[in-house]
């Protein structure tokens, strides 16, 4: 494809390389939206990359009472892992330590129950020390665990589905301030899209990584080709005048969701101060999906 510009910003003819993952979705409710949001933020903390975390996780959306199973305000959370087993362990740990402990909360599975499932409430029930009780509604079982402000209600089984992680694009800008404004605009646009999360702090990555390191103990290290302070010391990918780079990383329940998020984010990021938008890949050698920027922008 030929040169493509949006609002004067060059869109490089390249692709993001994304990976097959497993995903789960939890709905957490509470007596107030503030407590639901608190539980969601804590449960999805320290979950930026499976390189160093047990899962990648984030808040998908804040939910009104008419969108939740128990008619209370809530949040939907997405969790991603490389395997069903790893994801199940992360869910039990995170929901047990961060949601069951949070005042007034309840927790529900929000994916279809198919071939792949993990026990969540079915594991957390043991915290009830024999005083827990269960109730089955239709095909779903819920556990009621006594806690000091009443009961913690948690669904026994959570669905797991195939998903996509690692959709991304890079904003190359003239300075830190204007590039960050563009990144924040992209984040705001993407967060209106359901089915995806931005697992990094505030949705923005400053420390993009490459595979491998000169230090044998590290699986990943700084993406030196995009670090503006060492352009004279490395094989830089930065054009003249670029002094800041931010990356947006997207995980989604399926490839169309990731593509939609990338599309709205790319368009929103084309602002003054951004010179070029690129994407991170590994030459097609690692990820199972290639999300081409030009093709994404040509979509609806």
| Rounded Cα gap, residues 82 and 288, in angstroms | 13
Stretch 96-116: mean pLDDT: 97
Q: pLDDT for 76-97, tens place per residue?
A: 999 999 999 999 999 999 999 9
Pair (93, 171) in one structural domain: no
From 161, 180, 208, give the residue that closes a domain: 161
Stretch 157-172: mean pLDDT: 98
Quick one: pLDDT at residue 299? Answer: 86
Q: pLDDT for 24-77, tens place per residue?
A: 999 999 999 999 999 999 999 999 999 999 999 999 999 999 999 999 999 999
pLDDT at 191 over 80: yes
| Rounded Cα gap, residues 78 and 94, in angstroms | 12
pLDDT at 264 over 90: yes
Quick one: pLDDT at residue 285? Answer: 84
Pair (189, 231) in one structural domain: yes
Task: Give the total number of structural domains in the chain.
Answer: 2
Three-class secondary structure of residue 224 per DSSP: helix
Structural domain for 179, as ranges: 4-17+163-297
Pair (151, 168) in one structural domain: no
Q: pLDDT for 210-262, tens place per residue?
A: 999 999 999 999 999 999 999 999 999 999 999 999 999 999 999 999 999 99
Q: pLDDT for 170-190, tens place per residue?
A: 999 999 999 999 999 999 999
Pair (105, 60) in one structural domain: yes
Pair (137, 221) in one structural domain: no
Pair (10, 108) in one structural domain: no
- pTM to 2 decimal places: 0.96
Please spell the DSSP secondary structure of 168-210, one letter per residue: EEEEEESSHHHHHHHHHHHHHHHTTSTTEE--SGGG-BSS-EE
Phi, psi torsion values for 131, nearest 5 degrees: -95, -5
Quick one: pLDDT at residue 284? Answer: 86
From 140, 161, 182, give the residue that closes a domain: 161
Quick one: pLDDT at residue 2? Answer: 72
CATH number for the domain that contains residue 137: 3.30.70.520
Phi, psi torsion values for 231, nearest 5 degrees: -60, -30
pLDDT at 1 over 70: no
Quick one: pLDDT at residue 251? Answer: 98
């Amino acid at each position: 494809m030929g040169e493509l510009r949006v609002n004067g910003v060059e869109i490089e003819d390249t692709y993001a390389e994304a990976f097959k993952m497993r995903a789960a979705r939890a709905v957490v409710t509470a007596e107030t939206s503030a407590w639901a949001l608190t539980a969601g933020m804590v449960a999805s903390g320290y979950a930026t990359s499976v390189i160093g975390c047990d899962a990648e996780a984030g808040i998908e959306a804040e939910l009104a009472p008419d969108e939740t199973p128990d008619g209370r305000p809530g949040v939907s959370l997405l969790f991603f892992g490389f395997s069903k087993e790893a994801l199940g362990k992360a869910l039990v740990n995170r929901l047990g330590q961060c949601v069951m402990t949070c005042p007034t909360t309840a927790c529900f599975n929000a994916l279809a129950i198919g071939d792949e499932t993990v026990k969540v409430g079915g594991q957390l029930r043991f915290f009830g020390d024999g005083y827990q009780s269960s109730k089955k509604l239709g095909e779903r079982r819920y556990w009621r665990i006594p806690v000091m402000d009443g009961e913690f209600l948690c669904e026994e089984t959570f669905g797991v589905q195939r998903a996509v992680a690692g959709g991304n694009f890079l904003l190359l800008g003239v300075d830190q301030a204007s590039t960050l404004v563009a990144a924040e605009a992209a984040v705001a646009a993407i967060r209106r899209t359901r089915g995806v999360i931005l697992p990094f702090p505030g949705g923005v990555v400053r420390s993009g990584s490459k595979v491998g390191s000169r230090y044998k103990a590290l699986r990943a290290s700084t993406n030196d080709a995009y670090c503006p302070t060492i352009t004279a010391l490395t094989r830089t990918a930065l054009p003249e005048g670029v002094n800041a780079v931010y990356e947006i990383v997207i995980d989604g329940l399926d490839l169309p969701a990731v593509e939609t998020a990338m599309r709205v984010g790319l368009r929103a990021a084309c602002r003054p101060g951004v010179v070029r938008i690129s994407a991170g890949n590994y030459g097609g050698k690692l990820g199972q999906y290639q999300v081409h920027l030009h093709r994404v922008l040509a979509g609806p």
